[in-house]
């Protein structure tokens, strides 16, 4: 991929600057950015609602928690796997294969609604099992580019402007995160099913279109993404080589993400199963709007991402004056505080709107967080450092979903969410005490 991807002007402080910059990208980066947008749209239309889908297919709370843990395993292992494959076959063909596998994964999710329980004698395969199988495939494309993305931004951006460089790429990608739940909200406005099946159909279409587009338009002459990872044989060496400033960040980040992993897959169930709260209001010039709980959750998710989009670039600019650490710490605090605030919130639509708007602030610290991860890496090693960091963080976070599911089903949702917030706040305090600032931001 071109190393001339991004140049960030000192006056760029808002989301619209990202789109002005987008149309000046070189062809390969432009194509991959469009593919990223399409796949992000598909993932976000489906992933945040799959917990409700699992419950519809007969899964219990502990299964939903196991779903979260299963996703954590894939998130930890797949980036290295993607790097190995891209090294062997080249980025273009790897992207094509991963794209088609993702489309098949969406199709498996769709098919799960039509597959009956299969009796194997000793055990029975419930329909929700196929949702787990689908995830193995659906996440393939997403696994490919984490390290390469970090490395490219680092190579193309001045060290003192890293947070702003990441704000540009994140703002564009997360625009899909804003649009996706709003599409779902429209399709499931009356009831969750069969609207969600149409969501899965749209996900398949986007995945296929993005795959075909990137295969025929992506040019590999200057490509270096596939060379950023060297495979499983390098994992231990890369972990040992993590820069010292990353270690307290990794500890705090792992605690905060572990906390989030305990409860993230249950956010939709708080709205649809515990509160069973929808939205019924009169809108001038539109009339009565009556949304089912799942659709209301989609609207809340859209509000959350709108706040994220509006605050990421300004937060990155603030980091240039305050340093990265305060901005990252503020994002960690929102991660940690949100679960306990949500689970004990009154069943009031406007309070929930305010809470999800507050949750969107956790993304404001994301560009600074990424800059703090890749900043200390030596030039040319950003991909390996990022891959090692996410691999270790992912391995630590793996059991979080299952723990949250056990507490949700066998203790209480309130206890699960409270423990999650406590663990997250421990991470916030640890980072405040031991976290290191990236030198160019001092």
Residue at 272 is within a domain: yes
CATH number at residue 436: 1.20.1250.20
Q: Is the pLDDT of residue 18 over 80?
A: no
Mean pLDDT value of segment 423-440 = 88
State the DSSP code for 122.
S
The model's pTM: 0.84
Asked whether residue 203 is assigned to any structural domain, the reply reads: yes
- Check residue 395 and give left, alpha or beta (phi > 0: left; psi -120 to 50: alpha): alpha
pLDDT band at 24 (very low <50, low <70, confident <90, very high): very low
Residue 226 located in a structural domain? no
Between residues 201 and 39, which one has the greater pLDDT? 201
Q: Which two tokens stand for residue 415?
A: 């206890």
What is residue 282's predicted lDDT score, i.e. its pLDDT?
76
Is 49 contained in some domain?
A: yes
- Cβ(199)–Cβ(187) under 8 Å? yes
48: in domain: yes
Which among 250, 262, 245 has a CA at the least distance from the CA of 338?
A: 262
Domain membership of residue 117 (yes or no) is yes
Residue 9 in domain: no
Cβ-in-10-Å burial (0-12, 13-18, 19+) of 42 comes to buried
Q: How many domains does the chain have?
A: 1
Confidence of residue 34 (pLDDT cuts 50, 70, 90): confident
pLDDT winner (highest mean) among 12-26, 67-81, 326-340:
326-340
pLDDT at position 323 is 86
Q: What is the pLDDT of residue 2?
A: 40
Give the domain extent around 358.
15-218+232-441
5 occurs within a structural domain: no
Q: What is the mean pLDDT of residues 324-341?
A: 95
Average confidence (pLDDT) over 95-119: 92
């Amino acid at each position: 991929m071109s190393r001339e991807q991004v140049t960030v002007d000192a006056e760029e402080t808002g989301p619209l600057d990202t789109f002005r910059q987008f149309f000046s990208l070189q062809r390969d980066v432009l194509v991959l950015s469009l593919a990223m947008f399409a796949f992000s749209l598909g993932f976000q239309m489906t992933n945040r609602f799959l917990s409700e889908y699992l419950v519809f297919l007969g899964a219990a709370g502990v299964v939903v928690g196991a779903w979260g843990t299963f996703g954590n395993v894939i998130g930890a292992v797949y980036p290295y796997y993607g790097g190995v494959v891209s090294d062997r076959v080249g980025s273009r063909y790897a992207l094509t294969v991963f794209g088609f596998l993702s489309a098949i994964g969406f199709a498996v999710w769709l098919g799960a609604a039509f597959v009956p329980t299969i009796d194997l004698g000793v055990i029975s395969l419930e329909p929700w099992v196929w949702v787990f199988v689908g995830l193995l495939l659906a996440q393939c494309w997403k696994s490919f580019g984490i390290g390469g993305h970090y490395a490219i931004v680092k190579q193309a951006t001045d060290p003192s402007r890293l947070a702003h460089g990441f704000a540009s790429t994140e703002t564009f990608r997360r625009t899909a995160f804003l649009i996706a739940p709003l599409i779902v909200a429209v399709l499931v406005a009356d009831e969750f099913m069969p609207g969600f099946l149409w969501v899965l159909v749209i996900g398949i279409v986007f995945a296929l279109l993005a795959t075909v587009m990137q295969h025929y338009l992506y040019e590999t002459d200057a490509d270096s993404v596939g060379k950023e990872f060297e495979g499983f044989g390098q994992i231990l060496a890369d972990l040992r080589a993590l820069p010292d400033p990353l270690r307290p960040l990794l500890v705090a980040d792992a605690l905060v993400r572990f906390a989030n992993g305990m409860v993230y897959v249950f956010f939709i169930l708080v709205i649809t199963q515990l509160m069973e709260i929808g939205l019924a209001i009169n809108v001038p010039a539109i009339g009565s709007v009556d949304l089912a709980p799942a659709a209301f959750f989609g609207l809340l998710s859209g509000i959350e991402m709108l706040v994220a989009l509006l605050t990421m670039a300004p937060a990155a600019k603030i980091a240039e004056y305050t340093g990265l650490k305060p901005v990252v710490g503020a994002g960690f605090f929102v991660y940690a505080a949100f679960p306990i605030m949500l689970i004990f919130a009154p069943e009031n639509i406007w309070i929930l709107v305010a809470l999800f708007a507050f949750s969107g602030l956790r993304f404001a610290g994301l560009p600074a967080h990424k800059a703090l991860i890749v900043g200390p890496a030596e030039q040319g090693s950003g991909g390996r450092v990022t891959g090692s960091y996410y691999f270790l963080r992912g391995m630590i976070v793996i059991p979080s979903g299952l723990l949250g599911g056990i507490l949700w089903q066998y203790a209480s949702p309130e206890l699960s969410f409270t423990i999650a917030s406590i663990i997250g706040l421990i991470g916030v305090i640890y980072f405040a005490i031991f976290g290191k600032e990236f030198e160019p931001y001092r």
